[in-house]
Amino acid sequence: MHNFTYHAANSVADAAAKVADGEDAVLMAGGMTLLPTLKQRLAQPSDIIDLAGVAGLSGIRVEGGTVTVGAMTTHDTVANSSEVAAAIPALAAVAGHIGDPQVRNRGTIGGSIANNDPAADYPAALVGLGATVCTNRREIAAGDFFTSMFETALDEGEIVTSVRFPAPETAAYMKFPNPASRYAIVGVFVARTTGGSVRVAVTGAAGCVYRETAMETALEGDFSPAALDGMTASADDLNEDIHASAEYRAHLVGVMARRAVAACG
């Protein structure tokens, strides 16, 4: 790591001010991506603003069919929350399948979504559930939040404070993990609202989380795995790497979507 100045922020406003003050300041949530990046000397921020000490940023609240997760809530907390398990079990399952216990104890939902790794799990849950990202300035619909690979709608100095999830009628997440990194080669989050609308959000396959609208339409007609028989994603623009070709990812989108629907019960 190169030298940097460390600041422990004590409030969201304090963090925002310190980010503005720094020449090239970055926010640190759990640090699970930032610290490896710094250690490999792939980034050289002047200042690191640690959000760990900011009161009110972590915790889970369930009210009237809405689950609100504070930005600094760890994956482990979400995975093991009985309230989350009762309201949106698929959300707890997503959190429980991120990385390993060491990562889940440090990594946070705010850090994960602000980083918007194309193979991260949470973006699929946010988009699949139609969540709302709350920041220190505004509220952003999940569908508008994830803009492109490692890019979000967050402005300079804008800080995620919480994520609000409406509880669906049913939902499930199916992940085919990268055998080495345990990120998603393909992860599909399927949710159906009480109104019958369906979302199929896909992570890992492309540069950014996206929705399989054709599958959504099919499932709105018939919410069963069979409704997706023969359906895959289009391989155009899907990721290609040493672990999976675009065609394989396209195929897996179909497989994971069918399995997610089946898991919805």
Partner 1 sequence: MAKHHISTTINGEPVEFLCNTEQTMLDVLRDELHLTGTKEGCATGDCGACSITVDGRLVCACLMLGVEAEGHAVETIEGMADGDKLHPLQQKFLEYAALQCGICTPGFLIASKALLEHNPDPTEEEARYWLAGNLCRCTGYDKIIRAVLDTAADMRGAS
Partner 2 sequence: MPKDGIGASVKRKEDYRFITGQGAYTDDIDRPGQSYAVFVRSPHAHARIASVNTAAATAMPGVVKILTGADYAADGLGGLPCGWQVTGKDGPMVEPAHPPLVADCVRHVGDQVAVVIANSAAEARDAAEAVVVDYQPLPATASIETAMAAGAPQVHDEAPGNLCYDWEIGDKADVDAVFAGAHHVTRIELVNNRLVPNAIEPRAAIAEYDRATREYTLYTTSQNPHVIRLLMGAFVLQLPEHRLRVVAPDVGGGFGSKIFHYAEEAVLTWAAAKVARPIKWTAERSESFVTDAHGRDHVTIAELALDVDGKFLGLKVDTKANMGAYLSTFAPCVPTYLYATLLAGQYTTPKIWCGVQAVFTHTVPVDAYRGAGRPEATFVIERIVETAAREMGLDPAELRRRNFVPSDAFPYQTPVALVYDSGDYEGTLAAALAAADYDGFAARQAEAEARGKLRGIGLSAYIEACGIAPSAVAGSLGARAGLYECGEVRVHPTGSVTFFTGAHSHGQGHETTFAQIIAERLGVDIDAVEVVHGDTAKIPFGMGTYGSRSLAVGGSALSRALDKIETKAKRIAAHLMEASETDIEFSDGQFTVAGTDKSVGFGDVALTAYVPHNYPIEELEPGLDETAFYDPANFTFPAGCHVCEVEVDPETGRVEIVNFAASDDFGNVINPMIVEGQVHGGIVQGVGQALLEGCVYGEDGQLATGSYMDYTMPRADDVPSFAVSTRTTPCPHNPLGVKGCGEAGAIAAPAAVMNAVHHALGSRGVSRIDMPATPVRVWRALNAA
Kindly list the residues in this chain that would bind partner 2 in the complex (CB under 8 A). 1-2, 40-41, 176, 179-181, 242-245, 248, 251-252, 255
103 interacts with, out of partner 2, partner 1, none, CB within 5 to 8 A per kind: partner 1
Name residue 61's beta-bridge partners.
68
Point out which span in 2-10, 142-150, 152-160, 255-263 binds partner 1 (CB under 8 A). 2-10
26 binds partner 1 (CB under 8 A): no
Point out which span in 48-56, 187-195, 239-247, 253-261 binds partner 1 (CB under 8 A). 48-56
Q: Which is nearer to partner 2, 55 or 242 (CB)?
A: 242
Residue 127 near residue 211, CB atoms below 8 Å: yes
Residues contacting partner 1: total by CB under 8 A:
26
- Distance, in Å, from the CA atom of 226 to the CA atom of 231, rounded to the nearest integer, reads 10
Shortest Cβ 95–partner 1 spacing (Å):
14
Ramachandran sector of residue 189 (left: φ over 0; alpha: ψ -120 to 50; beta: rest):
beta
Among 117, 158, 150, CA closest to 12 = 158
Chosen residue from 100, 155, 156, 236 binding partner 1 by CB under 8 A: 100
Q: What are phi and psi of 196, to 5 degrees?
A: 95, 0
Q: Which is nearer to partner 1, 1 or 226 (CB)?
A: 1
1 binds partner 1 (CB under 8 A): yes
Signed CA dihedral, 150, 10, 23, 48: sign only: negative
* Helix extents (H) in the chain: 12-21, 34-39, 75-79, 82-87, 89-96, 101-104, 109-115, 122-129, 142-145, 213-221, 246-264
Name the helix (H) or strand (E) containing 47. Answer: strand 47-50
Chosen residue from 17, 35, 153, 255 binding partner 1 by CB under 8 A: 35
Residue 162 near residue 201, CB atoms below 8 Å: no
Ramachandran sector of residue 146 (left: φ over 0; alpha: ψ -120 to 50; beta: rest):
beta
102 binds partner 1 (CB under 8 A): yes
Binding mask 135-174 for partner 1 (x = CB under 8 A): ----------------------------------------
Q: Which is nearer to partner 2, 166 or 225 (CB)?
A: 225
Packed helices 122-129 and 89-96: angle between N→C axes, nearest 10 degrees: 160
Point out which span in 93-101, 131-139, 165-173, 204-212 binds partner 1 (CB under 8 A). 93-101
232 binds partner 1 (CB under 8 A): no
75 binds partner 1 (CB under 8 A): no
Chosen residue from 99, 118, 123, 254 binding partner 1 by CB under 8 A: 99
Residue 89 near residue 64, CB atoms below 8 Å: no
**Rule CB under 8 A: which residues touch partner 1?**
1-6, 8, 31-32, 35-36, 38-40, 48, 50, 52, 76, 99-103, 105-106, 182
